[in-house]
Amino acid sequence: MGIVYFLGVWMRVEEILSRPSIFRDRNVLSPHFIPDTLLHRDREIESIVRILAPSSKRMKPKSIFIYGKTGTGKTSTVKHIMKFSDQLCAIFAYVNCRIYNSKYKVLQKVGKTFIGELDKTGFGLSHIYERLVAFAAGKQIIIILDEIDMVKDVDDLLYMLGRSNDEIIDGGITIIGISNSLSFKERLDARSKSSLYEDEMVFAPYSASQIHDILKERSKIGFEPDVVQESALNLIAAISAQTSGDARYALRLLIRAGEVADSKRLKTVTDREVETARMNVEDDVIIEAVSTLPEHQQILLLGLATLTTGGSSYAKLGGGGEGAGAANVDGIEPFFMSGELYEQYAKTCNALGRQKRSARWYREYLTDLEMLGLISMVETSTGIRGRSRLIKLCYDAKRLKPILEKSLSCGIAGGHSDGKS
């Protein structure tokens, strides 16, 4: 009996492993993969290289702050630039501040990058700092602080790194800060602001045709030839551009569509697989995005999802949505007036037993949520109500609502402070 059972399992495993797949190399389709060529970012690459160019003449370049919505290629572009280390006569340290989220952790990571001995734990902050200053003598060091808004004591960190330049002999430390929070700048001290924002760049969301090109290029190496149909690529590009211009989302959709085709043993990826994949990908994206949001941004989103599913007098502004609160047939959610949403946010706070934040914070939350591609906003032209902002969800409210309710009730939200109180 045991042997028969084992043989059955073994045969099934064999069958699964020997099944032909339409993927040639799944890794290259992963959102973590950094491609050799970055399409449609030549201008950004050139601008950054131009700003960093003084290092090739042993002069300290200006610091750069890069911001843009999620999936607009900020991390990929900066990692691409690290390849020019020799030409720039500079050495780079890349720090993912989502992981290294304090002054100490950042400095430890930078120290470890350059000085092997610092790999051991237990060194004090001042020891690491002094070793780094000594190491930097005669060198141009470029520290990339990706998702810099995650660093709890970011003002102290920037002050310390800035001050190090007075102590480094014949060398310097330049910072490239990256964030998708527009309101981050407002939270900084004036001194940090002037040290980080010597040069500023914005990465625009990708258009449908740019996403199409990125997907096309990637599918050439990720899939077997002629697997992904042109119409499927166009559909993914259109969906992604319409929601947020996010290349990561587009790639996720592509890989999921490939998996759907594989599971059905199809030889091609068509619009139908994209449509099926869209449902799965949205849930993944929503859960990931929502779980790291500060509490009040989650409450605000919940308010918007409630309005969207419950109805409103302005719901028809979504264009095509028949009747109050009805989402359009193609899944695009309707727009709501800013004042109306604030009221709903206040009600939701009340229902959850939380103190609502002021209208000023509310506007900042909106800006952050837009940068994350979770909502989108348009200004109305002057009408009976004067100028106002219209806001809509970029994701399906019916799916978002239970995720937010769960997150807020089991306290995930409390785990991430936005420092705004």
Ligand X SMILES: Nc1ncnc2c1ncn2[C@@H]1O[C@H](COP(=O)(O)OP(=O)(O)OP(=O)(O)O)[C@@H](O)[C@H]1O
Of 235, 264, 272, 229, the closest CA to residue 250 belongs to 235
* Residue (53 or 221) nearer to ligand X, CB: 221
Which stretch, 30-38, 102-110, 189-197, 377-385, contacts ligand X (CB under 6 A)?
30-38
Choose which of 21, 24, 26, 39 interacts with ligand X (CB under 6 A). Answer: 39
Can you tell me whether residue 195 is helix, strand or coil?
helix
Task: Tell me the per-residue interface mask from 61 to 100 with ligand X, x by CB under 6 A, - otherwise.
Answer: -------x-xxxxxxx------------------------
How many helical (H) and strand (E) elements, i.e. helices and strands, does the chain have?
A: 17, 8
Q: Which of the listed partners (Mg ion, ligand X, none) does 278 bind, with a CB threshold of 5 to 8 Å by partner kind? A: none
The reply to whether 248 sits near ligand X by the rule CB under 6 A is yes
Residue nearest to ligand X (CB): 73
How near is the Cβ of 214 to ligand X at its closest, in Å? 4
The nearest distance, CB 370 to Mg ion, in angstroms, is 17
Q: Tokens at residue 234, please? A: 């166009």
Contact indicator for 147, 371 with CB cutoff of 8 Å: no
- Hey, what amino acid is at 259? E
Q: Between residues 45 and 238, which has the closer beta carbon with respect to ligand X? A: 45
Q: Residues touching ligand X: how many (CB under 6 A)?
A: 21
Q: Which does 196 bind (CB under 5 to 8 A by kind): ligand X, Mg ion, none?
A: none
Instruction: Give one DSSP letter per residue of 405-418, joined into a string.
Output: HHHHHTTTGGGS--
C-alpha to C-alpha distance for 192 and 159, rounded to whole angstroms: 6
Q: Do 237 and 208 contact (CB within 8 A), yes or no? A: yes
CB of 246 to ligand X, least distance (A): 7
Give the CA-trace dihedral at 46, 48, 51, 55, to 10 degrees. -100
The helix/strand/coil state of 143 is strand
Tell me whether strands 199-203 and 375-379 are parallel, antiparallel or unpaired: unpaired
**Contact flag: residue 247 with ligand X (CB under 6 A):** yes
Structure tokens at 406: 């769960």
Stretch that binds Mg ion, among 72-80, 286-294, 296-304, 307-315 (CB under 5 A): 72-80
- DSSP code for 58: T
39 binds, among ligand X, Mg ion, none (CB under 5 to 8 A by kind): ligand X
Instruction: Compose the 24-63 pattern: x for residues touching Mg ion by CB under 5 A, - for all others.
Output: ----------------------------------------
- What is the spatial distance between Cα 192 and Cα 214, in angstroms, rounded to a whole number? 36
Does position 75 bind Mg ion by CB under 5 A?
Answer: yes
Q: Which residues bind Mg ion (CB under 5 A)?
A: 75
* Binding positions for ligand X, rule: CB under 6 A: 31, 33-35, 38-41, 68, 70-76, 180, 214, 247-248, 251
